[in-house]
Amino acid sequence: MKKKVSSKDLRVIGRTDIVDLPDLGLHNVDVKIDTGAYTSSIHCSRIKVIKEADGTEVVTFTIPGSKLHEKGIHRFKVKDFEERSIRSSNGHLQKRFIIQSHIVIFGKRYQAEFSLADRSSMKFPILLGRQLLGKRFLVDVSKTNLSYKEKIKI
């Protein structure tokens, strides 16, 4: 029998925050909390699958915007990925690549799934969905950047 999670057990997160994705070398990135989205999403471009010399398939992508990446490197290559149909915010099904990456929120590291998507028309480069938020966070839309505010106090 699963233990029921009480709202008292959940950490409060605001409608936006600033987080780190250490696997990708991304630090202090603006994110939007979206309880309407199931899967988290990261803004990418030039997304393609290529075959390595050894025959292994990898997904490659670029994360635009030098302010996101501390080393100035924007091209990524990920071996562990899958392709899945995701319903976009406008209701259309899209084939997207899904990768795994760690995210640091409130000083705690979580494994998360991210779909690679063109979010160039969106204000936030990363969207955090229910799959990551569920049974961990309670969203208070009147608050912002709670994790980041805690981080900079240290």
What residues does each domain of the chain span?
A: 8-153
The model scores a pTM over 0.75: yes
Rounded to 10 degrees, the C-alpha dihedral 40/46/49/52 comes to -120
Each residue of 124-138: pLDDT tens digit?
Answer: 889 999 999 999 999
pLDDT of residue 154: 61
pLDDT of residue 66: 42
Is CATH 2.40.70.10 what the domain over 8-153 is classified as, yes or no? yes
- What is the mean predicted confidence (pLDDT) over 62-71? 60
Closest CA to 116 of 63, 42, 66: 42
Q: Which amino acid is at 126?
A: I
Give the pairing of strands 45-51 and 137-139: unpaired
Q: How far is CA 29 from CA 1, 112, 117, 127, in A?
A: 38, 15, 16, 11
